[in-house]
């Protein structure tokens, strides 16, 4: 595809429900990042993959958050037992290997927990 694709674009979940957010990075991009963007704030780092290896998950706010990238391309961010404070836009970004190459962002998934 032409860019990073995320689905769904919008998700409304009842509190306590599990959700799964999908990211299709740009083909050939080794690095994949997940960020959480609360309303009116800058994106905050959640986790980072290099190919299929999750090298940094220091930003995941709790053990209810889990991310995977089993084949080194598509990634899924899963949130278990969603809570109202999980409401945010979840952004995925990908980049080529190498130092500080441009990170391309997807349009995000807006999650609303009611």
Q: Tell me, what DSSP letter sits at residue 26?
A: P
Is 68 among the residues that bind another protein (CB under 8 A)?
no
Is 99 among the residues that bind another protein (CB under 8 A)?
yes
> Which residue do the tokens 């598509």 mark?
74
The residue within the footprint of another protein, chosen from 12, 18, 55, 62 (CB under 8 A), is 55
Is 44 among the residues that bind another protein (CB under 8 A)?
yes
Cα distance between residue 94 and residue 101, in whole Å: 10
For residue 27, the tally of other CB atoms under 10 A from its CB is 8
Is 48 among the residues that bind another protein (CB under 8 A)?
yes
Is 100 among the residues that bind another protein (CB under 8 A)?
yes
- CA 23 vs CA 16, 30, 74, 114: distances in Å: 23, 13, 6, 23
Q: Looking at beta carbons only, is 16 or 61 nearer to another protein?
A: 61
The residue within the footprint of another protein, chosen from 108, 109, 111, 113 (CB under 8 A), is 108
| Tokens read off for 40 | 């009116």
The site for another protein (CB under 8 A) is made up of 4, 31, 33, 35, 40-45, 48, 55-56, 59, 91, 99-100, 102-108
């Amino acid at each position: 595809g032409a860019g990073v694709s995320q689905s769904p674009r919008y998700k409304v979940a009842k509190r306590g429900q599990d959700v799964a957010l999908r990211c299709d990075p740009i083909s050939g991009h080794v690095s994949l990042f997940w960020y959480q963007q609360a309303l009116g704030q800058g994106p905050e780092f959640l986790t980072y993959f290099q190919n299929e290896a999750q090298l940094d998950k220091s930003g995941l706010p709790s053990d209810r958050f889990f991310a995977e990238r089993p084949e080194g391309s598509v990634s899924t961010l899963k949130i278990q037992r969603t809570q109202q404070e999980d409401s945010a836009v979840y952004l995925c970004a990908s980049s080529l290997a190498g130092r500080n190459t441009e990170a391309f962002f997807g349009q995000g998934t807006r999650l609303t927990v009611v």
